[in-house]
């Protein structure tokens, strides 16, 4: 499949780029996408939530009443979980939510997500550009030209560019990433993926070698 290359004003440059069908034209695998997105979100969880069970509480261990003969249920100390202020039963404790996922599954998930984006015409290719200084209004002007100012956009760069990154940082729906860091969750979360020509070529080179 071929895509038209636009400039930062949203105008047709008269050039086209051919997408690698082994990356952008595969039959999507929904389960691989699910697993990769789930792993991404699980890896971001802090896992620091904690609760206190009865053994973690301070309080008297005196038996509240005798075991038998009261006509009611037996009770232990005031840290009993059924009492107000008592310990929590089977509460959460700090843990690591990360889990392993094979590289081939992650690769399949990423290609599947990109193939969906191509089918839905949600991938844009623009010519390489530079910003002289980090200015949010300059980056916002580019998004407006591409009609992406009110949409979630993900711009993919070949290499780190401080001016572009700082210019996009304060725009809520705009995100900038690198070709070698593009992941399935970010692809699915964006309404439009904006590849620079150099980043598209770099991305295809990275994954054609795997």
User: What are the structural domain ranges in the chain?
Assistant: 2-45+98-208, 48-96
**pLDDT over threshold 90, residue 208:** no
pLDDT (tens digit, 9 = 90+) per residue, 96-149? Answer: 999 999 999 999 999 999 999 999 999 999 999 999 999 999 999 999 999 998
CA-CA distance, 183 to 186, in Å (whole number)? Answer: 6
Asked if the 2-45+98-208 domain carries CATH number 3.40.1370.10, the reply is yes
The model's pTM: 0.81
Give Cα separations from 108 to 35, 102, 190, 195, 210 (angstroms): 11, 10, 19, 20, 11
Mean pLDDT of 186-197: 95
Would you state the structure tokens that stand for residue 124, as one six-digit string? 């844009």
Would you state the structure tokens that stand for residue 137, as one six-digit string? 């209004």
């Amino acid at each position: 499949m071929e895509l038209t290359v636009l400039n930062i004003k949203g105008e047709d440059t008269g050039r086209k780029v051919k997408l690698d069908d082994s990356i952008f034209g595969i039959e999507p695998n929904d389960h691989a996408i699910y697993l990769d997105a789930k792993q991404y979100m699980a890896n971001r969880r802090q896992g620091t939530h904690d609760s206190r069970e009865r053994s973690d509480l301070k309080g008297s261990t005196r038996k509240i009443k005798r075991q038998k003969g009261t006509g009611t249920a037996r009770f232990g100390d005031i840290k009993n979980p059924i009492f107000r202020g008592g310990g929590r039963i089977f509460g959460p404790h700090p843990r690591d939510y990360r889990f392993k996922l094979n590289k081939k599954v992650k690769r399949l998930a990423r290609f599947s997500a990109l193939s969906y984006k191509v089918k839905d015409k949600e991938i844009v290719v623009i010519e390489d550009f530079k910003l002289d200084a980090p200015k949010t209004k300059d980056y916002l002007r580019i998004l407006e030209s591409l009609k992406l100012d009110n949409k979630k956009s993900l711009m993919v760069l070949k290499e780190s560019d401080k001016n572009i990154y700082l210019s996009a940082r304060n725009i809520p729906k705009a995100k900038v990433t690198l070709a070698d860091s593009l992941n399935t969750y970010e692809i699915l979360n964006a309404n439009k993926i904006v590849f620079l020509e150099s980043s598209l070529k770099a991305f295809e080179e990275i994954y054609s070698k795997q």
